[in-house]
Structures are given as C-alpha cells and as structure tokens.
Amino acid sequence: MTSSPGEVLLITRLRTLNKGNQALSAAWLGLLQQAFPGVPIRVLERRPPHLLQYTLSQLARSRDPYRAFDDLTTRLARLAPGAGAQQPPDPAPRIMLDEAIPVPVRFPELRKRLNLRGWIARIGGYRHSYLQRLAACQRARLVVVNPAGEFYPREPEPAFYHLIDAHVSHKLGVPTAIVNHTMDIEDATLRAIIPKVYRELDLVGFRDTTSVQAFREMGGDLGNVVVAPDLALASRTAAALPRRPGEVAVAINVPEAAARGYAGRWFDVIRGLQAAGHRVVLVSNEAPSDHAFYEQLKERLGVSMEGASLDYDRYAALLGAFDLVVTSRMHTAILAMVGGAPVVPVEGASFKITGLFQELGLPVEVIRPPADGWVEAVVAQANTARSRRDTLAADLAVKLDSIRSQIADAMLPRLRTAAGVAS
C-alpha cells in the first residue's frame, strides 16, 4: 500500500478543554501551512475510539510485546479501504476550546476496568470512522502525530494509542512523524516497543534533550530525531491588556499535586504570597480539572479566579498583564511567556517543565515539590521576579524571538524532507 501525494494529515487535539492543547494544535497547523504552502492540511482528532478495544495489558501478557504490537498494527492497516473513500479536507479546520467536556473524577480504576468504550469498539461501534481515518492516511503525503503531553509515567495508555496511530500510518507506506513530546515513560512494555517503532518512522521530535537521553537509555536510535522546544512557544497573543501591578497569577496542576500528596501545601504558597504583598489570582489552562480545588482556595483564602472561558490567545494576553505567573502547568508557563510575563516554574510529576526551561536557556530555578523548603522557594522567587519584572520581560521577549526562529529552522526542513519535498 502506497500513499498518494496529496494533503498533509495532522493528528492532534481538535476539541479540548485545555488551552495549552488548543494553542499547540493551532501552532502545528500554522507550522505545517508554512512548511507546505498551498497544500491542503487535514486535521484529525487524537486517540480514535476504535482503538480502545486494545489495551497495553494485552501486549504485556505476550512473550514478545513488540511482535504482538506489530501484528496488531498490521491487522489494522489491512482494513484500509483506499484513498478514495474519504472526502477532501476542510480547508479551515476549527480547533475548539470546550470546557464543558466532562472531567472524570470518580472511580478511575473501575472505569478503566469496565472500558465501556472499548466494548463498543469490539462490537464495531467505531469501525466506520476508523476506516475513514485510514483512508485519510492513504491520501496523505505526510502524517504528523502530535501527542503533546500524553507520554508520561502516570498513565501509559494514551501513549500506546499514539504509537498505534503512528505505526499504522507507517504500515500504509506513508511518511510519518511523531512530534513535540516528552519521553518520560516507565512502563516496561512501552519501553520495549518505542525504540523499535520510532526506528521505522521518518521523523521523531522531542521537546528537550532530557527526553533524548531517556530515549537513548531505552535503546532508541537518534538517527531520525530532532529536538525543538514546545511549539506552543510560537503562539501569538491577542491584544495586550493593561498591566495589573501588584497582582500575581497562580496556576496549579491539581491532579498531579493531589496524586503526589502535596496539594494542601498550595494553601501555604498562596498565604506566603499574600503575606509578601502579592494579590493572588487563580488561573488555569485546564480549568475544569482544577476547579474543585480552586473553589476551596477561593473560599478559605479570599482569592479570585479568572480566564476560565478564554481561548489560548486571550489567555496569554491575560497572563501577560500580571506582575508574574507562578505555575506548575507547563502550558500556562509557555502562554505566560508568550504574553510577556516572568514565570516562577514549579515542576509537576514529570521533568517536562525542567526540560522546557533548560531548552530555553532561561536562568530560572525550577522548583520541585515536595522537597523541603519548596513553598518558601516559590515565595522568594516571586519576590525577586516582581523586583526585576521589566528587565525579565524584556529578556524574555528577545529569547522568544530566538526560540521561534530556532523551532522553524529545526522543524521546517525536516518536515519537508520527511514528505519528500525539496526545501
């Protein structure tokens, strides 16, 4: 099966409750339009539900997980109905923020065991849409898979589905890239599969050199690897808003903090910021996930919350109006920098925020909870950032211009080469 030299296919988040995913999808759409002017770009949603009938645990029980994975992707590729089975692409796909998407908060293990959508997939409920997806791959001159933040140790299943998507596309004879992700995987089955899958792809893009090292340690071949910072850094902000002197925005990755047992210490962080004279406003690029905990903070500490309904560009403009932004959410850090505000970064469950700041070359300590003294370190760094706000913002603007050029220089020729297009 071979590809026809048609459109470029971007697999990313189309409808999301996360402003960071919205920014990232829009930035990738823009980069591909820059790389392939005049070429139609089709955008498809990540993690097709047809694949939910397959689980990582099924592979883990196999004597040879990679062979089982390869057999699975071969079977899926054989379903491809031909490039003519799909309509031409929407010339202007809509990447939507939808904060009404429900966030599952109860009985996660029970839901995982029941896997109701997996049962629907087994009886063919999603088969037609998956055949259309395969046809779209067959039409493409290049397939770009953007898993964004879904390679992490806390939940390995999403990475599994992105790997299937990429490998099936490769099996269809289409040049395939998997891009813009952090390699922080502990699952033994995935670690056995990833190096072999990636060796067959045309392009692998990591966000940081820490991920490259992690990939190398699991046996990865770096011959097709490129490193470029998170593409959301290329986002553009809406019109600047008036400065809000004395105010600091705080974004907390509540699910990660709760999972690691230090969510309650954020009360101390906010009290410390208030005692130092900062007026605290809660923000989030994934407001539905953080809302319940934010309500507790609002009730007990008298803080407010803003920005829940804003698209990513207006959210970036909001963040840029604050003296500074304290955040354990990576995309709030990125959109704050895009908006022009200094950032006090607090690491989450992975190393992705640390990797981001190392890749940017910013001389800022990434604070790592729950280490001793992390609360005090946040307050101290916020005080320093407030005193140097204008200098830090000016330095940041220069750095962002350089990073955007670096991303374009790294990615555009590699994407064109992967698609067999002369630069």
Question: Given a cut of 70, is residue 3 above it in pLDDT?
Answer: no
Give the pLDDT band (50/70/90) at residue 184. confident
CA–CA distance, 409 with 412 (Å, rounded to integer): 6
Which residue matches tokens 């500074």? 324
pLDDT in tens, 235-279: 989 999 999 999 999 999 999 999 999 999 999 999 999 999 999
Closest CA to 253 of 353, 336, 123, 372: 353
Q: What is the pLDDT of residue 110?
A: 45
Q: Is there a contact between 374 and 354 (Cβ–Cβ < 8 Å)?
A: no
Give the pLDDT band (50/70/90) at residue 286. very high
Q: What is the mean pLDDT of residues 272-300?
A: 97
Whole-prediction pTM value?
0.91
Q: What is the pLDDT of residue 91?
A: 55
Strand 225-227 relative to strand 244-251, pairing: unpaired
Question: Given a cut of 50, is residue 2 above it in pLDDT?
Answer: no
pLDDT in tens, 89-144: 555 568 999 888 766 554 455 445 556 677 787 877 889 899 999 999 999 999 99
Question: Given a cut of 60, is residue 56 above it in pLDDT?
Answer: yes
DSSP annotation of 277 reads T
Which residue matches tokens 């397959």? 54
Q: Both tokens of residue 298?
A: 């609002």
- Computed over every residue of the chain, the mean pLDDT equals 91
Q: What is the pLDDT of residue 218?
A: 95
Cα atoms in the 13 Å half-sphere on the side-chain side of 188:
7
Q: What is the mean pLDDT of residues 344-351?
A: 88
pLDDT in tens, 76-90: 999 999 888 766 555
Cα atoms in the 13 Å half-sphere on the side-chain side of 115:
16
Helix (H) or strand (E) holding 104: none
CA–CA distance, 250 with 318 (Å, rounded to integer): 12
- Which string of b and e fits 61-82 if b means at least 16 CB within 10 Å? eeeebbebbbebbeebbeebee
CA–CA distance, 340 with 400 (Å, rounded to integer): 10
What type of residue sits at position 219? Answer: G
CA–CA distance, 112 with 236 (Å, rounded to integer): 38
Strand 142-145 relative to strand 15-16, pairing: unpaired
Q: Is there a contact between 159 and 147 (Cβ–Cβ < 8 Å)?
A: yes
pLDDT in tens, 366-393: 999 999 999 999 999 999 999 999 999 9
Domains contained in the chain, CATH given: 8-234+403-418 (3.40.50), 244-387 (3.40.50.2000)
Q: Is there a contact between 18 and 25 (Cβ–Cβ < 8 Å)?
A: no
DSSP annotation of 315 reads H
Contacts of 124 (CB under 8 A, 6+ apart): none
Sign of CA dihedral 275, 281, 284, 289: positive
Question: Given a cut of 50, is residue 154 above it in pLDDT?
Answer: yes
Count the residues in the chain: 423
Higher pLDDT, 58 or 349: 58
